[in-house]
Amino acid sequence: MMRLACCTALLFVLRLLVGLPWFQVIPAILIFYLGSGGWSFLQIFAKTVGRDLHAAGVLLRVKMNVRRHLREKNTIPKIFAETVHRYGDKTALIFEGTGEKWTFRQLDEYSNRVANLLLQRGFKEGDVVALFMENRSQYVGLWLGMAKIGVEAALINFNLRLEALVHCVTISNAKAVVFGSELTDAVSEVHTSMRKAVQMFCSGDWDPKRVPQGTECLEPLLAAAPSHLPNRLFYIYTSGTTGMPKAAIVVHSRYYRMAALVYYGFRMKSEDVLYDCLPLYHSAGNIVGVGQCIIHGMTVVIKKKFSASRFWDDCVKYNCTIVQYIGEICRYLLNQPSIWEEFMKRFNIPQIAEFYGATECNCSLGNFDNHIGACGFNSQILPYIYPIRLVKVDEETMELIRGPDGVCIPCKPGEPGQLVGRIIQNDPLRRFDGYVNQAATSKKISHSVFKKGDSAYLSGKTEGKAGMAAIADPSHSSDLEKFVKDMEKALPPYARPVFLRFLPEVNKTGTFKFQKTELRREGFDPSTVSDRLYFLDSSRGRYVQLDEETHRSILSGKHKL
């Protein structure tokens, strides 16, 4: 009976989600079951059926909604208009920095002023405006107003300086830059390197003596603009860990999909209050976080920047029911190496939901059932619903390993590999929109991955928290003080190497590629590495030599990086 119930449920869900006719679904199910191992399959089914059917239901709901929005040509601003109609005087955004609250109607009016101002200045659909400012409610209103008239916002990491900053503005082909007054110095440093035709607007504390020549103060311009509704969305820059940041294209359907999958998958409600301390130039903060306000009517508390000491006080002050985190935030709050169970017990957290993905990817993973330590799952009983998998790669080159038929080889349970997602451009959950740069887009696509002739998105390699730079210095002539000063000027904090390793020469392969695998394997242990090792002591702002005692202190967590 259980086997029969399983077949019935799978057939129904597959028929709905995949859209296959019965005569194609039934053989696929029978083949899968015959090879599934009987009792072993029943054990897997019993443990995962609830999780998998919930995930399938979420995918079905989001897919149907995305298709409806595409059919009705509903943009994010149109969806937001429905939210405003439903929740008008409810608090939409709270900026923790000042305690200022905006209702949905106020956010709507502010974004209308932005749209009307840009129309007055001659901006039209398809034009790009770069947004370079720290977190605040105005950030949301600015890109939302741009989206209302089809002007695309290029959201730029406010940590960038010099060449990287110019690069991001340049590749977006922005006709204007809106920057926060707190970033005036950074803009002034590169103003002469930007195109002459770029208009400059400053938001915040106005000091005409400090801003670049020709810059206009934004606030009085918006105050004079009409607040009525005026007669593609925006770019989000990926981190660029292997070079300059890449501009990922975020269309309306992708914005909706990312926000909605989290909303329904993690069982959120419009009555929830979400604490968002992540940067709004990042998709996690701006789509997964603020998207719950724009699309689902949730109140979102915007924090200027993360503060471990203020985190819980803020949550209590604003009655937050959901907190959003990324990377190491929970570790900072708990301040100990093993965190999941201890974090839930110490702070009485009923559910931790995690997901793995990237702004542009089509193969996100989600932990829907509070499974400790998991960032997601790959269904064993509904393998056709969400075509993703881990495939084997060469650890040295990260090239995909293929079988005799030329198709990639799936990893077995417990084996490391690269996450891939099949690309189906007419499926709103499987499409890949890529980057502004076509060459960067092509690098993320591989063919004959699941089967001959198909296309798949290649997820990026996961990166560690701390980076190491290997430097060839046979004469011991490096000036570390100058290196730190130059690095602080050119690189944002997260891109600066925590460790340095000085080599007599940099080893290369026979084809002149750097041998990074051996360096990664050896790490920063002075007991096994004979080369000179240094680490960045943040408390002193300089590199100091790494010895075995300090190495042990770092590993134990006593010495913070």
Residue 373 gets the label, from left (phi > 0), alpha (psi -120 to 50) or beta, of left
DSSP state of 401: P
E-strand ranges in 232-382 read 234-237, 247-250, 273-276, 299-302, 322-324, 355-356, 365-366
Q: Decide if 456 contacts 422 (C-beta within 8 A).
A: yes
Phi/psi of residue 159, nearest 5 degrees: -85, -15
pLDDT at residue 461 in the model: 54
CATH (one of 3.30.300, 2.30.30, 3.30.1360, 3.30.70) for 468-556 = 3.30.300
DSSP string, 125-141: TT-EEEEE--S-HHHHH
What does the alpha-carbon distance between residue 216 and residue 202 come to, in Å, rounded to a whole number? 6
> What is the chain's mean pLDDT, rounded?
83
Collect the ranges in the chain with pLDDT lower than 50.
1-5, 13-14, 16-17, 232, 240-242, 463, 510-513
Residue 544 CB coordination number (10 Å): 12
pLDDT at residue 17 in the model: 46
Residue 268: helix, strand or coil by DSSP?
Answer: coil
Q: Quick one: tokens of 510?
A: 């026979």
Q: Quick one: tokens of 139?
A: 């950030």
What's the angle, vertex CA 132, arms to CA 539 and CA 213, rounded to 5?
105
The fraction of the chain above a pLDDT of 70, given in percent, is 84
pLDDT digits (tens, 9 = 90+) for 56-109: 888 889 889 988 988 888 889 999 999 999 999 999 999 998 899 999 999 999
> What dihedral do alpha carbons 332, 323, 144, 131 form, nearest 10°?
0
Residue indicated by tokens 């002591």: 537
Q: Using N-to-C axis directions, what is the helix angle for 162-172 and 480-490, rounded to 10°?
A: 30
DSSP string, 346-390: HHT-S----EE--TT-S--EE--S--TT-S----SS-TTTS-EEE
Half-sphere exposure of 377 (CA within 13 A, CB side): 25
pLDDT at residue 4 in the model: 47
Contact residues for 281 (Cβ-Cβ < 8 A; gap 6+) = 131, 155, 156, 157, 158, 236, 237
Alpha helices in 370-460 (DSSP H): 438-443
What does the alpha-carbon distance between residue 219 and residue 196 come to, in Å, rounded to a whole number? 23
Residue 272's nearest CA partner among 296, 255, 305 is 296
pLDDT at residue 300 in the model: 97
Q: Quick one: tokens of 303?
A: 């924090």
Q: Decide if 397 contacts 443 (C-beta within 8 A).
A: no
Give the H/E segment covering residue 52: helix 39-71
| Neighbour-count burial of 233, counting CB atoms closer than 10 A to its CB (0-12 exposed, 13-18 middle, 19+ buried) | buried
Q: Decide if 452 contacts 407 (C-beta within 8 A).
A: yes
Q: Using N-to-C axis directions, what is the helix angle for 252-265 and 39-71, rounded to 10°?
A: 140
pLDDT at residue 29 in the model: 56
Q: Decide if 7 contacts 18 (C-beta within 8 A).
A: no
Domains 90-326 and 468-556 share a fold: no
Residue 163: helix, strand or coil by DSSP?
Answer: helix
Homologous superfamily of 90-326: ANL, N-terminal domain (3.40.50.12780)
Sketch the domain layout of the chain as residue ranges.
2-71, 90-326, 387-462, 468-556
pTM over 0.85: no
Q: Looking at the DSSP assignment, which residues form a beta bridge with residue 248?
A: 236, 435
Residue 463: helix, strand or coil by DSSP?
Answer: coil
Cα–chain-centroid distance for residue 326? 9
What does the alpha-carbon distance between residue 206 and residue 218 come to, in Å, rounded to a whole number? 9
Q: Decide if 428 contacts 67 (C-beta within 8 A).
A: yes
